[in-house]
A and B are shown apart, each in its own frame.
Chain A
Amino acid sequence: MSSASLTIQRNERNYSYREGRTMEKIAIIGAGIHPFNRYPDKRGINPAMSFQEIGRSAVDKALKHAGISFKEMGAAYCSTMIGPVSAGHSILAPFGLNGMPIVNIENACAGGGTCIRMGVDAIRGGRADVVLALGIDKMPQGFIKMDIWPSWMEKTGQNLTPFGFASRGRRHMALYGTTREQFARVIVKNRKQGVLNPNAMWRTPVTEEEVLNAPMVCEPLTSFMLCSPNEGAAALILCTEAKAKQFTTKPVYVAAAAVGTPIEGSIFGGMALPQMHGITYTDTPYEITTFVSQKAYEEAGIGPHDLDIVELQDTDAASEIIETELLGICEMGEAPRLIDEGVTAFGSSKRPIVNISGGLTCKGEPVGASGLAMIAEIVYQLRGEAGPRQLEGARAGLGHTIGMGGNCSVVIVNR
């Protein structure tokens, strides 16, 4: 191939996730989730609670969890993908405006991770002592309608997210011999775990046969193997270590908050950014999840084998397998075996447990909220507050998202 000799330039200095100038410890003292769900409206939307009301529900829970007053907030970062203009402002006004900056963020699936990253930076930079990170979406049922695709891709039928998910899954099958049954077992695992999570949408177990026999969406993925866009909200309260000690005896800390975008040779990331106009072919694609998670592990000073819990972007069954590998939890091609043997399932003696909350395939995905809800789940687990799904002795967890634009976030929290 004529361009096989292309040298891909990676300018380490310019990447925005380099370590901050100060590494002051940042705590999470409160977490709240407005349960992810779908309603019997024809679009699956709850007509009884507005976008603003579900946002306030999550904020109320996070404030109560922390035992802190809204007046203490020094900044708010609000993530939504399809929400209204000034989303955060309209949610937070009734709490009593105090003049603080409220920043609305649209960063697709990485929006929640981005809120955390920006909150950490604001506190480390001395701009605020306490920050609210908030995410909300009310997403209609069905394929997510987005205007990122150029018109030629819409007209040729390529503007649907499962195209990318199925393509990744098929590639994994070809490279490693992964089977549809193994994809189905991911869903069986997550649905079993979701039964224990009151914040999840699907709270009934499913069998391998039911998953395989569900309607085919994009071969090899059936409808049960794909996560459902739905509605929900999540909020976190971040603050300095000193401030945290005033409010809780069990703070958890943000050990790393890395956010990144694709580089040349990142094929899966490139697919999610159609404006790349083709992706440079390499036999060893350097995927964005690998890239961003390595930065997060360096920043946290811990590796994938030190994690007890991983909440990762299972937009679909194949993605759970692929992202488990790209995060370095196992070698490439090994995740299907981990699924078969239940190594990453709740109840395993091994660590980490993957998607103990049920994951997106079980909770559903209100895109702006999902990344924050992952971290909220880990906060509950690290504080020993997760009830029947509590993982004993959990000390460190990782939340991972990847989505449109090839956006990726990896947040590590520990205690």
Chain B
Amino acid sequence: MSERRKVPVEPGLFDIPASPEEAIYLNGSICAACGRYFFPKVDRCHLCGSQENIRDTKLGRKGKLWTYTNCCYAPPGGGYKGKIPFGLGLVALDEGIIICTRINETDTSKLKVGMEAELMLETLYTDEEGNDVVCFTYDPKK
């Protein structure tokens, strides 16, 4: 039986690696003038306003857990089709920005602010065509 096809929950946020050995990154931007990283991508720097200094970059492999929560109810609007409860939090990336993200842990007693966290992919749900819909999340190092 062939492996199910993986599709990203939203195009552009990250690339799905061809093999398990390949490293995972987020797709973001950096301003060559300011050094400010952005995720997701931007078309102008939010600090200096420059459009010509914005470059694509990979980022976000590692960071530290800045804060976290376990969400026990479905968010409004019906756009979310993953399991409940689910972990959410903010991670301070090694690149110097804090991003909002899913956290790969719902038992908050296992989590601590400041712990190392590493980027990984998780399957949110299986769509009507049988594809695994995958999303990035951060795995806290226990």
* B75 touching A157, Cβ below 8 Å: yes
Closest Cβ–Cβ distance, residue A386 to chain B (whole Å): 36
Residues of B within 8 A of A216 (CB): 70, 72
* A215 touching B68, Cβ below 8 Å: no
In the complex, A13 has a CB within 8 A of chain B = no
* B90 touching A219, Cβ below 8 Å: no
Given contacts A152-B13, A279-B97, A281-B98, contact A159 B112 (CB under 8 A): no
B80's nearest neighbour on chain A, judged by CB, is: A157
- How far apart are the CA atoms of A174 and B115 in the complex, in Å? 12
- How far apart are the CA atoms of A157 and B124 in the complex, in Å? 10
Q: Which residues, 37 to 78 on B, are CB-close (under 8 Å) to A?
A: 37-42, 46-47, 66-73, 75-77
Residues of A within 8 A of B112 (CB): 174
Closest Cβ–Cβ distance, residue B5 to chain A (whole Å): 18
Residues of B within 8 A of A89 (CB): none
* A157 touching B82, Cβ below 8 Å: yes
- How far apart are the CA atoms of A174 and B39 in the complex, in Å? 26
Residues of A within 8 A of B86 (CB): 157
Q: Among B71, B76, B80, B96, point to the contact of A1 (Cβ < 8 A).
A: B96
* A6 touching B80, Cβ below 8 Å: no
Q: Among A3, A143, A144, A156, point to the contact of B35 (Cβ < 8 A).
A: A3
In the complex, A46 has a CB within 8 A of chain B = no
Q: Which residues, 81 to 105 on B, are CB-close (under 8 Å) to A?
A: 81-82, 86, 88-90, 92-102
In the complex, A210 has a CB within 8 A of chain B = no
* B69 touching A3, Cβ below 8 Å: no
* A6 touching B96, Cβ below 8 Å: yes
A223's nearest neighbour on chain B, judged by CB, is: B73
A160's nearest neighbour on chain B, judged by CB, is: B75
Q: Among A2, A162, A168, A215, point to the contact of B95 (Cβ < 8 A).
A: A2
The 8 A CB mask of A162-196 against B (1 = contact, 0 = none) is: 11001110110011000000000000000000000
Residues of B within 8 A of A1 (CB): 94-96
* A143 touching B75, Cβ below 8 Å: yes
* A278 touching B39, Cβ below 8 Å: yes
Of the candidates B75, B95, B112, the one having the most CB atoms from chain A within 10 angstroms of its own CB is B75
In the complex, A19 has a CB within 8 A of chain B = no
Closest Cβ–Cβ distance, residue A394 to chain B (whole Å): 36
Of the candidates B10, B76, B86, the one having the most CB atoms from chain A within 10 angstroms of its own CB is B76
Residues of A within 8 A of B100 (CB): 153, 158, 163, 271, 274
* A145 touching B77, Cβ below 8 Å: yes
Given contacts A216-B72, A218-B71, contact A6 B88 (CB under 8 A): no
Residues of B within 8 A of A42 (CB): none
In the complex, A21 has a CB within 8 A of chain B = no
Closest Cβ–Cβ distance, residue B113 to chain A (whole Å): 4
8 pairs, CB–CB < 8 Å, chain A vs chain B = A1-B94, A152-B10, A154-B75, A157-B86, A158-B102, A159-B77, A167-B90, A174-B113
For the complex with contacts A167-B89, A216-B70, A274-B100, 18 further pairs of A-B residues with Cβ separation under 8 Å are A1-B94, A2-B35, A6-B34, A152-B40, A157-B71, A157-B82, A157-B86, A158-B101, A159-B75, A163-B71, A170-B113, A218-B71, A218-B88, A219-B70, A271-B90, A278-B93, A278-B98, A278-B99
